[in-house]
Amino acid sequence: MTATAIPSNETTDDRSELPENTVRAAVPQVARGFVLGAVDLVPGVSGGTAALVLGIYRHLISSLHHISKTATRMLRGDLSGAKHGVRRIPALWLGGLGLGILTMVFLLAGPLEYALTNHPVALAGLFFGLIIAAVILCWRQLYSTTPLTFALVGMAAVATFFLLGLSPASTGAASEPPALWVYFFAGAVAICAMILPGISGSFLLVLMGMYVHVLAAVATRDFLILGIFVVGCATGLALAASGLNWLLARYHDLVLASMIGLMIGSVRLLWPWPSGLGGTELALPTLSTFWLPVLLGVSGFALVMGADLLARKVRGAEPGVEVQ
């Protein structure tokens, strides 16, 4: 039997990080996909952190990087290298994970859309607690705090808070269905949350005013819109992965400080009172509308901090793995 040559730009370490591509390895991935699908629908919970808790972070990131490298070889005309890369894609492993994610997303999208429509104040309270916890987790990932770090956090927070006050959500225009190209753009931006530490894709959709629209497309099985959104995700991952990794490698704290400020400023959109996610106006709660959003907010905060505690234990068992 002749051994298959490994392309010179593919190291043994890269090979060892890819998961086993068998049915036996794929079956448990469906259950893990259920968890990731539920997490992906909730703003404030990082999918990378959930993947780490489930013990699949290394394999997932390595698989995505391998697919990206294979696509790059194909675009460069390296058909031999691309053919070898395609054969090594863990399709069964990724397929099981994708099946679980899609199943849970489609199952939960309807109830979540109903809650957004009929209980916007209560759900905004939950999202508020999730984002506050995400701010704390992101702050912990800073290597050091300097005057520049605090300045960036402050400027990003103030700018986000001010710009959200000018957003269509405050005038009711956000209820109008956006153009199809907006879904493409939203997918391209949201997928970057896989690379940015502590940021969730759903949170970015909320910030862009697209969360309700994408959720409605899932709930109503609008496959045209979902197809455009997925193409945007694939395009964003292909174009932005290298650039974001480069920025994080060289300007980690500056990028993270900007993201922290963005999340702090976004509380204007997530503040439950008076209308939840339906607008950016601010008001004090009444006694009748106070307790449920606060209770859900505290529960969401505890959920994220608990997930982080589990992630830290897993990270301690796997040196060199960072929570994303």
Complete DSSP assignment for 221-236:
T-HHHHHHHHHHHHHH
Residue 195 lies in a domain: yes
- How far is residue 256's CA from residue 248's CA, in Å, rounded to a whole number? 8
Radius of gyration for the alpha carbons in the chain, expressed in angstroms and rounded: 20
- The tens place of each residue's pLDDT in the chain, 324 residues long, gives 333 333 444 443 444 578 888 888 888 899 989 988 888 888 867 777 677 677 787 788 788 778 878 888 888 888 888 888 888 989 999 999 999 999 999 999 989 888 888 888 999 899 899 889 888 888 888 889 899 999 999 999 999 888 887 754 443 344 577 889 999 999 988 887 766 766 778 888 888 888 889 999 998 999 999 999 999 988 887 777 667 767 877 888 998 898 889 889 888 888 899 888 777 788 888 888 899 999 999 998 998 888 778 777 766 654 444 444
Please report, as a single letter, which amino acid is at residue 30: V
CB of 120 closer than 8 Å to CB of 275 = yes
Q: Residue 316: its pLDDT value, please?
A: 63
Sign of CA dihedral 137, 138, 144, 150: negative
Residue 3 lies in a domain: no
Query: What are 21's two structure tokens?
Result: 């591509």
Q: Give how far Cα 323 sits from Cα of 26, 121, 176, 243, 285, Å.
A: 23, 31, 37, 19, 35
Residue 44 lies in a domain: yes
What residue numbers bound the domain in which 36 lies? 12-317
Residue 322 lies in a domain: no
Q: Residue 1: its pLDDT value, please?
A: 36
Q: Give how far Cα 199 sits from Cα of 15, 31, 202, Å.
A: 28, 23, 9
- How far is residue 150's CA from residue 321's CA, in Å, rounded to a whole number? 26
Q: Residue 223: its pLDDT value, please?
A: 92
Residue 29 lies in a domain: yes
Residue 2 lies in a domain: no
Residue 5 lies in a domain: no
Residue 82 CA, chain-centre distance (Å), reads 28
Residue 306 lies in a domain: yes
Q: For residue 41, how many other CB atoms are within 10 A of its CB?
A: 23
0.85 exceeded by pTM: no
Per the structure, the count of domains in the chain is 1
Quick one: angle between helices 79-88 and 57-75, nearest 10? 160
